Amino acid sequence: MGLDLAAGPYRLSAQQIDFVNRVVAGMSDEEKIGQLFFVIGQEGDDSRLKDFIDRYHPGGIMYRPDKAGKLQHKVATCQGNSRIPLFIAANLEAGGNGLVAEGTWFGRPMQVAATADPHQAYELGDVSGYEARQVGGNMSFSPIVDLDLNFRNPIMNTRTFGSDESTIIAMSDAEIEGFKANDIIPVAKHFPGDGVDERDQHLLSSINSLSVEKWMESYGQIYRHLIERGLPAVMIAHIMQPAWERRLCPGIEDKDLRPASVSRLLIDGLLRGQLKFNGLAITDATPMIGYNDIMPRSQALPTTINAGIDMILFNKDIDEDYGYVREAVSNGTLPMERVDEAVTRIVATKVAQGVMGTDGKLKNPSSPDFDLKLEEHGRLAADLAAKSVTLVKDRDNILPITPKKYPRVRLVVLGDTDDGGFKEGGLVADKFKKKLEGEGFKVTIFDRKHLDFQEVFEGGVKEEEDRFDLAFYVANVETASNQTTTRLDWIHLMAADAPWFMRSIPTVFVSTCNPYHLYDIPMVSTYVNAYTGNDVTIDAIVRKMTGKEKFEGKSPVDPFCGHFETRL
């Protein structure tokens, strides 16, 4: 098979290698096929969970956030009924809240990068990893090592450490150390690199359009560094990299270009061949349209394994998906030798990363008697917030704002909705209102649902001046899956909530997520990026805007979007 388990990232002893080989040899074909699948966390009582494990033999389970006690019990039940210990993964991208519903929302990666302090990235990994470990988690689908190179990209944005590869490397290294301190396996994503296209792979196969040379200077440098440092696993995206496919297969036709999740050229050729990655490769979620729009699913699943990828994340109809792989093995489309290689990587990773011992048992199982340390982690999140909020511009010296200068505040909150795929944050309007009122301001929230038609169609500057002294805008437009934009979306009737009066009435604008809103409101005087809309960051924003605390954050991206007018 050409798989060297004595080499990195495994570095197994002769005894461990013998154990791995014996485990794989002792599996039935059904068990091997099961190991290839990384399924979504299941609901149901203990009996149903046991039956699920007995029937499908999955190699891993990924969970969405749920209550800690419930999760710990479900994970323990699944582990207790699985002959081979399971990977238990979650998107620990911004804190333990990626797995535990009541866990700490520490802060998005871009907020961490805004401190310019890799120790904050270590804390992100440590806080996330500790809380996940308490309920049985052992793997994180992070760090995110993508570069935010296109401000129009709707899915990456604040989920990245920014647009500079040296920052990505420093922050990722530190986050990985935080995970390791809690025996959490890091899975870097999204190979071959998101953040170039302005589209979302959840909705189509998006494209990393960099040249081979530019890719190697950026994404290639990041992955090569991490691989040399022993990165155990990589998540493979439904993203094309045409330049590398053309380099590896001169004359390839456009119609034959493939996203990495079904591309042997990008996996066996680039990732394993050029970058020398010997570890575990896992697809991004396969229900995404970007996976299903290239070829029939019955072909895509075996093509994924044949490409050099070891595990398939999620399923549609689970029996149907298993059937597709089973049929491909049966008819020789998917050689059993390739399945054995993938399963060997899976088991070897579990041994090398301390999920299972050479006795075949789960190491370090969780206990129902756990402590999430939420108070301690909350203090760490508050420290991050204090060091990250970034003043981008204050042209007219409106700051600091005080009740004496601006007693009456109109608060306009944009994008404050829970609609969208797996958003992390909640609603912020009431939180800002209470914080500002606590500082002594009289606050009126602009009611988008009940417009004053006199104001919208006939009101002038004097009418607005009679109502308020300061317009305080907050954009809580989160990055989330299955959306095509994170742009400002004013009320379509006359842009009724837009600050047409900003040259006459002091206006400040705060973003609690997307750092690029200046593109849509370039002439605003005062603009602040905060990157995360959690409670401690809202507290920090108000402290800084009222002059109680200095702004310390440094932007990890160009908030002016390369446009001159945004700087005016």
CA atoms 265, 270, 271, 274: torsion sign: positive
Helix (H, G, I), strand (E, B) or coil at 176: helix
Q: Is 416 a catalytic residue?
A: no
As a whole number of angstroms, the distance between CA 17 and CA 211 comes to: 40
CB 343 within 8 A of CB 24: yes
CB 543 within 8 A of CB 508: no
As a whole number of angstroms, the distance between CA 319 and CA 334 comes to: 18
Choose the catalytic residue: 117, 126, 200, 284.
284
> Pairing relation of β-strands 390-394 and 526-529?
antiparallel
Cβ contacts of 361 within 8 Å, gap of 6 or more: 85
Cis peptide upstream of residue 9 (ω within 30 degrees of 0)? yes
Tell how far CA 306 is from the center of its chain. 27
Q: Can you give 422-480 as a three-state secondary structure string?
A: CCCCCCCHHHHHHHHHHCCCEEEECCCCCCCHHHHHCCCHHHHHCCCCEEEEEECCCCC
Cβ contacts of 320 within 8 Å, gap of 6 or more: none
As a whole number of angstroms, the distance between CA 172 and CA 480 comes to: 21
> Helices 336-352 and 14-25, interaxial angle, to 10°?
130
Alpha helices per DSSP H over 238-317: 242-248, 264, 289-292, 297-306
Neighbours of 375 (CB within 10 A): 8
> What residues act catalytically?
284
